């Protein structure tokens, strides 16, 4: 496959990486979590350059986590659970205001984690909607119910403008490279519960440790 091919998004690939995310004892592997996000960014990029400001931020956060994962303390970053423990035990997290650890793994992952909730809500809408439903509406409803609460006005505004240029549902399903719409819908039926489980496990961990509002 050439470079063009590598960039091509496939929903199956994202589904596979999210499947690999959970260990037997329901720990979340950071490597696969990040790989799932890489797949989603590919998808976003295939929708056009209007989404560049979104994918840029996601890529930036992915890269921060990958740097920890491949860094000298990489073994502490194997799972989200071990990362949280390591960073908290070693006071590597700014807990109440930004200070000397503005790019902790914990706060960086929290941003992607919140976006994962948006994704879950959006894909569930996409799965259950009819052919003539507007993706822009599904997208902004999902956003307003989740991620938007954590964004300042200017980001909400920009996101709202980007949603308006999303392709219609048929074209959108096509970009997922799965096959006919029924097949995409079936695959979404598999993907959404998986994404939801990864989200829930992370959410509970962060809630237990009081990390849901990290600056």
Give residues in contact with ligand 1PZ (CB under 6 A).
Answer: 40, 43-44, 51, 53-54, 57-58, 111, 115, 118-119, 139, 143, 147, 155, 159, 166
Distance set, CA 35 to CA 17, 20, 65, 124, 211 (Å): 6, 10, 11, 21, 23
What distance, in Å, lies between the first and last C-alpha atoms of the chain?
42
Residue 71 or 215 with smaller CB distance to ligand 1PZ? 215
| DSSP string over 14-71 | HHHHHHHTB-TT-PBBHHHHHHHHHHHHHHHHHT-GGGHHHHHHHHHHHHHHHHHHTS
Residue 112 or 205 with smaller CB distance to ligand 1PZ? 112
Cβ(63)–Cβ(70) under 8 Å? no
**Min separation Cβ 24 and ligand 1PZ, Å:** 28
Cβ(76)–Cβ(108) under 8 Å? no
**Min separation Cβ 115 and ligand 1PZ, Å:** 4
**Min separation Cβ 53 and ligand 1PZ, Å:** 6
Distance, in Å, from the CA atom of 121 to the CA atom of 64, rounded to the nearest integer, reads 26
**Min separation Cβ 79 and ligand 1PZ, Å:** 21
Residue 22 or 147 with smaller CB distance to ligand 1PZ? 147
**Min separation Cβ 75 and ligand 1PZ, Å:** 26
Residue 25 or 54 with smaller CB distance to ligand 1PZ? 54
Residue 75 or 193 with smaller CB distance to ligand 1PZ? 193
Identify the CA nearest to 206 among candidates 105, 123, 120.
105
Residue 63 or 75 with smaller CB distance to ligand 1PZ? 63
SS3 category, 91: coil
Place of tokens 């490597």: 31
**Min separation Cβ 21 and ligand 1PZ, Å:** 16
């Amino acid at each position: 496959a050439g470079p063009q091919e590598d960039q091509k998004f496939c929903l199956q690939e994202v589904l596979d990486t999210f499947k690999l995310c959970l260990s037997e004892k329901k720990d979340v592997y950071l490597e696969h979590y990040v790989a799932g996000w890489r797949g989603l960014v590919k998808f976003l990029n295939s929708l056009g350059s209007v989404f560049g400001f979104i994918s840029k931020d996601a890529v930036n956060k992915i890269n921060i986590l990958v740097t920890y994962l491949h860094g000298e303390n990489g073994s502490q970053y194997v799972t989200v659970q071990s990362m949280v423990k390591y960073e908290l035990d070693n006071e590597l997290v700014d807990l109440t205001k930004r200070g000397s650890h503005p790019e902790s793994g914990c706060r960086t992952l929290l941003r992607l984690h919140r976006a994962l909730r948006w994704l879950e809500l959006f894909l569930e809408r996409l799965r259950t909607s009819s052919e003539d439903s507007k993706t822009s509406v599904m997208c902004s409803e999902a956003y307003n119910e989740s991620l938007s609460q954590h964004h300042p006005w200017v980001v909400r505004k920009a996101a709202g403008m980007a949603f308006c240029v999303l392709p219609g549902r048929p074209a959108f399903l096509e970009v997922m490279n799965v096959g006919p719409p029924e097949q995409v819908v079936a695959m979404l039926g598999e993907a959404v519960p998986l994404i939801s489980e990864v989200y829930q496990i992370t959410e509970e961990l962060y809630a237990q440790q009081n990390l849901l509002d990290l600056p």
